[in-house]
């Protein structure tokens, strides 16, 4: 089963920093299922955070229509903060 970007990041982290857990998941046959579930949860959290932050900060489609550069800059900031939160909660935990 395909594993998304969050699952790939977690796998890389496990290989580099949590070798015992990685080996346990791999040998028990649970690694792919674990990574797939983590990927789905992380993506859901990322999407939710981006939406919540955009709503709270007034980053709307109206802003996109009026000033695309401002919208892109603010959305990049929001996505970066959401990515950092998801990394701390799911990847490096």
Q: How confident is the model at residue 26 (pLDDT cuts 50, 70, 90)?
A: very high
Greatest CA separation found in the chain?
54
CA distance 93 to 75: 26
Q: How confident is the model at residue 79 (pLDDT cuts 50, 70, 90)?
A: very high
Q: Is 57 a residue whose pLDDT tops 80? A: yes
Cα dihedral sign for 84, 86, 88, 90?
negative
CA distance 75 to 50: 8
pTM tops 0.85: yes
Give Cβ neighbours of residue 6 (< 8 Å, ≥ 6 apart). 38, 39, 42, 43, 46, 86, 90, 91
């Amino acid at each position: 089963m395909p594993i998304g970007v969050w699952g790939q990041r977690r796998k890389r982290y496990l290989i580099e920093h949590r070798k015992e857990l990685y080996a346990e998941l791999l040998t028990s046959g649970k690694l792919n299922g674990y990574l797939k579930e983590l990927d789905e949860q992380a993506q859901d959290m990322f999407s939710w955070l981006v939406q919540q932050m955009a709503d709270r900060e007034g980053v709307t489609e109206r802003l996109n229509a009026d000033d695309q550069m401002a919208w892109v800059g603010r959305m990049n900031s929001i996505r970066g903060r959401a990515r950092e939160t998801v990394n701390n909660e799911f990847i490096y935990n």
